Amino acid sequence: MKAGFGTMERLAEAAAREGELNVIALPRDWVNYGEIIDTFADKYDIKVNELEPNAGSKRQLDVAAQLKPDVFDLTMDVAIAGAGRFAPYKVQGWQDLPDQIKDPSGGWYAAYGGYMSIGYDPRAVKPPASFADLLKPGYRVALDGDPLRSASAFDGVMAASMRAGVPQPAQGVSLFAKLKQAGRLTEPAKANTIVAWDHLNAARSAHQPDAWKVTIPRDSALGGYHVQAISKTAPHPAAARLWQEFVFSDEGQNLLQKGFARPARTEAMRMKGTLDAEQAAKLPKAPGPPVILTIPQADAAKAYLKRQWAKSMG
């Protein structure tokens, strides 16, 4: 074990002495975080303080000095930009994490990922084979928020913009502008089709199997990861490290998968036989490896949407 705590047992003892953990931006219905938090709290007898559950990634860092979270759950672009604020720490499962989803120094590393997907009501519309299909009559479509403020909604527009694995922001904006002009871009409560992360659409489908289905279009395998990091100024440094060990343990990774996320250690756990295969089979079928936007691609797309989105939706 790193960071002066010796063994896992000593780390757990030090964390128990601290007695608390401050987490931020972890909604209980997001990738099964409610069960993950409760399991961790019971297992180690640590009180988990849940700060601003609905905060976005940038907000977490903006309020860190005031709210003092121990750990963060961030989109990769925000983690890369804020890398100087994290305490390097490599969990026991470090070697199982693909190189492209971790900072070599241990500042941040992905815990889970997902694909942008289309959820739809099969009683109202046919299964869409592509984003272009959403322009056909009958689809009342919603994004998961405002793409100028919500990472999920932004990635929804980016998924609609994919052409041969490369984002074409104008194509995505154009599609949603056409839906708006046709009066078929609406809010989630009124939609029969929602563009959102596959874990959100799959969780809904699990509760309403006849009323909600999910598909990942073959030509738009856009993926994204959420990465974990420990605050350099964590008030509970041992509990923060123990939390990361739990999230990246076989138990923690399987609990994330129970929330229809795709665990970062999936391949290694599959090889070791520790992945919950029954739950893995319930995940929406992926058309291939995810396309992950580079930072320059994402920055260029955000700049384009800033200029064009409101104008196109007018």
> Domain map of the chain by residue range?
8-113+223-282, 119-220+286-313
Which pLDDT value is given to residue 220? Answer: 87
Q: State the Cα–Cα distance between residues 106 and 87, nearest whole angstrom.
A: 8
Q: Is the CB of residue 60 less than 8 Å from the CB of residue 74? A: yes
What are the start-end ranges of the E strands in the chain?
20-24, 47-51, 71-75, 109-120, 141-143, 162-163, 166-167, 193-197, 213-215, 223-230, 262-263
Just give the CATH number of 119-220+286-313.
3.40.190
State the Cα angle at 260 between 254 and 266, rounded to 5°.
45
Strands 141-143, 262-263: parallel, antiparallel or unpaired by DSSP?
A: unpaired
Which pLDDT value is given to residue 102? Answer: 96
Which pLDDT value is given to residue 314? Answer: 82
CA distances from 145 to 148, 223, 224 (A): 9, 18, 17
* Positive or negative torsion for Cα 111, 115, 120, 126: negative
CA distances from 114 to 71, 139, 289 (A): 21, 24, 11
CATH architecture for the domain at 8-113+223-282 = 3-Layer(aba) Sandwich (3.40)
Q: State the Cα–Cα distance between residues 304 and 239, nearest whole angstrom.
A: 41
Local structure of residue 100 (DSSP, 8 states): G
Query: Could you tell me how many residues make up the chain?
Result: 314
- Which residue in the block uniquely carries the two structure tokens 């949407």? 305
Q: State the Cα–Cα distance between residues 41 and 48, nearest whole angstrom.
A: 6
β partners of residue 194 = 119, 142
- Grouped pLDDT means (10 residues each) for the chain, 314 residues: 76 97 97 98 98 95 97 95 96 95 96 98 97 97 95 96 94 98 96 97 96 94 96 98 98 98 98 97 94 93 96 91
Q: The pTM is what?
A: 0.94
